[in-house]
């Protein structure tokens, strides 16, 4: 009995130590990426280096429905200036089939062009249809998003976004590191114009049973007034699953 209790205490200590190491590793990796890439910047307008940080909560209501909440902060001008923040909440229905999810969300955004500008608000309801499957053992997902942009001091518009993601079905080390690639296109309905593209390359991993991490590089190319501008983004996300 004494040995059994000792093993239990030992397992508990190892679990706490592993959790501590994983949390520290996550923040160390984020800091290292910022340090190594922080010097390769070219200004806020074109080729700017940015850091995006998000926290995501997913709560299962029952076997068919779940509630989601996400909050993100974006830092531009060589990752030194907060210029964008949003909160997004929604409900996802999973009961149609294993290969499809349907979500209804509302996003509130505050954004400014620079430290001297005023914050502008945008209200953005959106509908998401995500198809899931496999191709040559690769995990695939294709999300179609239809969003209405109710913008302060700007014309309201509808926009379509499609994001195709590919995950390698292998997980490495005890953190279950899993690489992925994704590409997202943006199309404004009022102009029927493709005006933005985002390419992602990242790694997801487990911090604990109910906490997931995501580190990624994002290259965004956007068109405005006939000119294309680029952003180089390092992003991190922590996901809590309940």
Q: Which of 57, 112, 129, 120 is nearest to 88 (CA)?
A: 57
| Burial tier of 79 (Cβ tally within 10 Å: 0-12, 13-18, 19+) | buried
pTM score, whole prediction: 0.79
Neighbouring C-beta atoms of residue 72, cutoff 10 Å: 18
- Domain containing residue 81: CATH number: 2.40.160
Q: Per residue of the chain (242 residues), what is the pLDDT tens digit? A: 434 444 344 344 434 544 454 545 555 455 444 444 444 333 356 889 999 999 999 999 999 999 999 999 999 999 999 999 999 999 999 999 999 999 999 999 999 987 778 999 999 999 999 999 998 889 999 999 999 999 998 899 999 999 999 998 888 888 899 999 999 999 998 876 789 999 999 999 999 999 999 999 999 999 877 789 999 999 999 999 99
Domains: count for the chain: 1
Alpha carbon distance 201, 205 (integer Å): 14
Instruction: Return the sign of the alpha-carbon dihedral for residues 29, 31, 34, 37.
Output: negative
Return d(Cα 105, Cα 91) in angstroms, integer.
7
Domain with 208, as residue range(s), is 2-241
């Amino acid at each position: 009995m004494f040995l059994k209790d000792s093993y239990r205490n030992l397992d508990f200590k190892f679990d706490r130590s592993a959790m501590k190491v994983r949390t520290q590793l996550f923040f160390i990796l984020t800091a290292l990426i910022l340090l190594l890439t922080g010097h390769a910047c070219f200004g806020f307008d074109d080729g700017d280096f940015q850091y995006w940080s998000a926290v995501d909560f997913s709560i299962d209501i029952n076997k068919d429905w779940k509630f989601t909440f996400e909050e993100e902060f974006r830092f531009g001008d060589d990752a030194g200036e907060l210029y964008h923040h949003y909160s997004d909440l929604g409900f996802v229905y999973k009961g149609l089939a294993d290969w499809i999810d349907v979500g209804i969300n509302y996003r509130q955004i505050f954004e400014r062009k620079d430290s001297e500008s005023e914050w502008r608000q945008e209200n953005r309801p959106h509908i998401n249809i995500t198809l899931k499957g496999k191709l040559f053992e690769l995990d695939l997902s294709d999300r179609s998003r239809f969003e209405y942009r109710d913008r302060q001091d700007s014309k309201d518009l509808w926009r379509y976004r499609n994001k195709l993601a590919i995950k390698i079905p292998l997980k490495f080390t005890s953190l279950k590191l899993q690489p992925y690639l994704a590409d997202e296109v943006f199309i404004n309905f009022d102009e029927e114009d493709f005006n933005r593209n985002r390419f992602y390359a990242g790694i997801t991993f487990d911090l604990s049973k109910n906490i997931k991490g995501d580190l990624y590089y994002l290259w965004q190319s956007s068109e405005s007034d006939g000119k294309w501008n680029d952003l180089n983004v390092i992003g991190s996300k922590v996901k809590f699953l309940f």
